Amino acid sequence: MFNFESMLFFLFSSIALIASIMVINAKNPVHSVLFLILVFLNSAGLFMLLGVEFLAITFIIVYVGAIAILFLFVVMMLNIKLVELNENMLRYLPIGALIGLIFLFEIFLVLENNLVTLNYAIDSNNLNINWDSKLTSFTNIELIGNILFTNYAYLVLVASLILLVAMIGAIILTLYIQTNVKRQDVFKQTSRHFSRSIILKT
């Protein structure tokens, strides 16, 4: 019997799979980016079902709100011409299937060697611990924030300074100053006196 969470899981996963296939098969690059945004949104829904709210919010803010929109703007500014695909897509199918099988083999190899069942770990160490009584109820965002801003506070500050320097460098590299343009002098405007600013004519 399927419950509501199982139905949501199958809904999000099926839409994500169909949208990921459409990212590759879409002939219009703008449509590919829109399908990519749909994949990110459904992946965020899957993370919400798993209980990792921080990753879901990060997916929406970083991937959907920044990277995918950046892709969309770049594609729209480049004015890519829509060209019909005349090549046969089936000729790439054997090498794609080979890479997919190797990838699945690596995943099963990692799952078989690194994951140990909970019963085996408790029986091998002769541990009988009630973990529910040992754990306190903290959300994922509270735990991540506590770790980031206590143990790794200096690294967060260094990362923010690196991003600030990168932003200033990008602005300086793309800034084009024209000499024949009349610009605003804020200091000159704020230092003007009232008596020299208004002239009363009778």
Structural domains present in the chain: 1-83 (1.20.120.1200)
* AA letter at 187: F
The model's pLDDT over 13-43, given as tens digits with 9 standing for 90+, comes to: 999 999 998 888 887 788 888 899 999 999 9
Tell whether the torsion through CA atoms of 146, 148, 149 and 152 is positive or negative.
positive
**Res 2 pLDDT > 80:** no
Contact 60, 41 (CB under 8 A): yes
Mean pLDDT for the stretch of residues 57-86: 74
Contact 16, 43 (CB under 8 A): yes
Residues sharing a CB contact under 8 Å with residue 2, sequence separation 6 or more, in sequence order: 10
The total of other beta-carbon atoms located within 10 Å of residue 45's CB is 20
Q: For residue 12, what pLDDT band results from cuts at 50, 70 and 90? A: very high
Contact 46, 20 (CB under 8 A): no
* AA letter at 198: I
**Res 175 pLDDT > 80:** no
Task: Quickly tell me which residue has 């793309």 as its tokens.
Answer: 174
The model's pLDDT over 104-142, given as tens digits with 9 standing for 90+, comes to: 888 888 777 665 554 544 444 545 656 555 566 777 778
